[in-house]
Amino acid sequence: MQRNALDSPTWVRWSAHLAFWLVYFVVRTAAAAASPPDDPNFPFLENRLVVVGVYCVLTGGLLALVAGPAASRAGWARNLALILGALALAPLTQMSEEATPRLFGWSEGEPGPFIIYLFNFGWALPLWGLTQALLGYHFESVAQARAVARAQSLAYDAQLKMLHYQINPHFLFNTLNAISTLVLEQRNEQAERMLMGLAGFLRYSLDRQPTELTVLSAELEAQRRYLEIEQTRFGEKLNVRFDIETGVENARLPSLILQPILENAIKYAITPRVDGGAIAISARREGDLLRIGVEDDGPGLPQEKSAQTRAGLGLANARERLQLIYGANAGLSASNRQPNGCRVEIWLPFLEEERVSRTAAPALS
């Protein structure tokens, strides 16, 4: 967050301190001009300058004592101390009002009642204290708001990281087990292809920051690698089809947002069936929205418990990431197809990538 001088309590509070007593000096001078003094030879301007200077020094010392030299300390006790402390300085400032003329030999100066002094001149002291107390309260509130915003930001990032790095351990186990089987069967070419596919997919998934958006073409390429790994495992049991509308390749979306959805489709629509099944991935633009669909021809969602039973962490993961990043502007729905199968659809704002900060291709090479 970019800050300016007004965000600094040191600069603002000390500037306000000097400005307050400058204004007080101007007010007293204007009041004296409105009611000319009886003795035209008395140096009223010099007297007021010295007296207000004493006010400024005494209250400046109080501010440094209570709020610190940087005027950065605050709290209700310190704010109250500024008001009461300023009022407690009134006897000293009254003495300066009476002693200054005698000290410089301008006049003898006679002591006056404290209450009269307080109403004529001393009212500025509690007003100064109140001003500094309000500034202290303001900066304390700003500091608390920034701390809350920082904590929320850290929690937001941590939550996105948790969701981003939830790689299905079953997928890793099954893939490594399949590679081991291929090696034992001396099907080295398939094992190597599967291993390279796994390495590329893992590199893509771990190289992306959780808060970073990727382009659709990179996301689809990563999912192709994932599905190629699964096709090596399932062989002809798994049929995959992509239907991507021209012109949406550069649309931005959260990286690996499709991963848990495809894992769900593999788990429920392909793995349990002897004859396998098919998965279709589509993407199209609809006005200001990007719509991505994942369909399978499996058993579909159980009617009695809807999507919750089948989805597990998969759809909940993707839905929560969308809500964290886009709020109400994005969403995810799951429904049954006719005569059988399931369709999961994601919609999110269509935003094209103008400057790609990270190159997608090397992560998949």
User: Quick one: tokens of 311?
Assistant: 């989805």
Quote the DSSP letter at residue 299: S
CA dist., res. 113 & res. 201, Å (int): 87
Instruction: pLDDT band for 43, please (50, 70, 90 cuts).
Output: confident
Q: How many whole angstroms separate alpha carbon 346 and alpha carbon 315?
A: 10
Domains and CATH numbers, the chain: 5-161 (no CATH), 165-357 (3.30.565.10)
Contact between residue 124 and residue 24 where contact means Cβ atoms under 8 Å apart: yes
Decide the pairing of beta strands 289-296 and 252-254. unpaired
**Cα–Cα distance for residue pair 343/331, rounded to 1 Å:** 14
185: its two tokens: 């069967």
pLDDT for 224-266, tens place per residue? 888 988 888 888 899 999 999 999 999 999 888 888 889 889 8
The least confident of 104-113, 248-257, 273-282 is 104-113
As a whole number of Å, the end-to-end CA separation of the chain is 37
Q: Is the dihedral angle over the CA atoms 100, 106, 108, 110 positive or is it negative?
A: negative
334, β-bridge pairs: 344
To 10 degrees, the CA torsion angle through 54, 58, 61, 62?
-160
Q: What is the mean pLDDT of the chain?
A: 81
299-326 average pLDDT score: 70
Q: Which residues neighbour 125 within 8 Å (Cβ) at sequence distance 6 or greater? A: 55, 59, 86, 87, 89, 90, 93
* Phi and psi at residue 242, to the nearest 5°: -115, 135
Confidence of residue 153 (pLDDT cuts 50, 70, 90): low
d(CA 287, CA 301): 29
List C-alpha distances in Å: 1 to 10, 99, 149, 192, 220. 19, 51, 11, 48, 34
pLDDT for position 317? 75
Give the residue-averaged pLDDT of 313-335: 84
> Bigger pLDDT: 174 or 254?
254
> Mean pLDDT, to the nearest integer, of 114-135?
88
pLDDT grade for 321, boundaries at 50, 70 and 90: confident
Question: In this predicted structure, which of 60-69, 170-179, 279-288 has the lowest mean pLDDT?
Answer: 170-179
| pLDDT tens figures, 183-209 | 888 888 888 888 888 887 777 776 666
Residue 3: the pLDDT is 56
Separation CA 209–CA 165 (nearest Å): 10
What residue spans of the chain are helical by DSSP H? 9-34, 44-67, 76-88, 90-103, 114-117, 124-164, 169-184, 188-207, 216-234, 259-265, 306-311, 313-326, 360-363
Among residues 307, 306, 279, 303, which one has the least CA distance to residue 293? 279
Hey, how many other C-beta atoms are within 10 angstroms of the C-beta on 71? 25
* pLDDT higher at 359 or 33: 33
**C-alpha–C-alpha distance, residues 22 and 304, integer Å:** 77
In this prediction, residue 363 carries a pLDDT of 39
What is the band of 338 on the pLDDT scale with cuts at 50, 70, 90?
A: confident
pLDDT classification of 319: cutoffs 50, 70, 90: confident
Average pLDDT over residues 5-14: 81
For residues 259 and 38, which has the higher predicted lDDT (pLDDT)? 259
Res. 126: pLDDT tops 80: yes
Average pLDDT over residues 275-298: 94
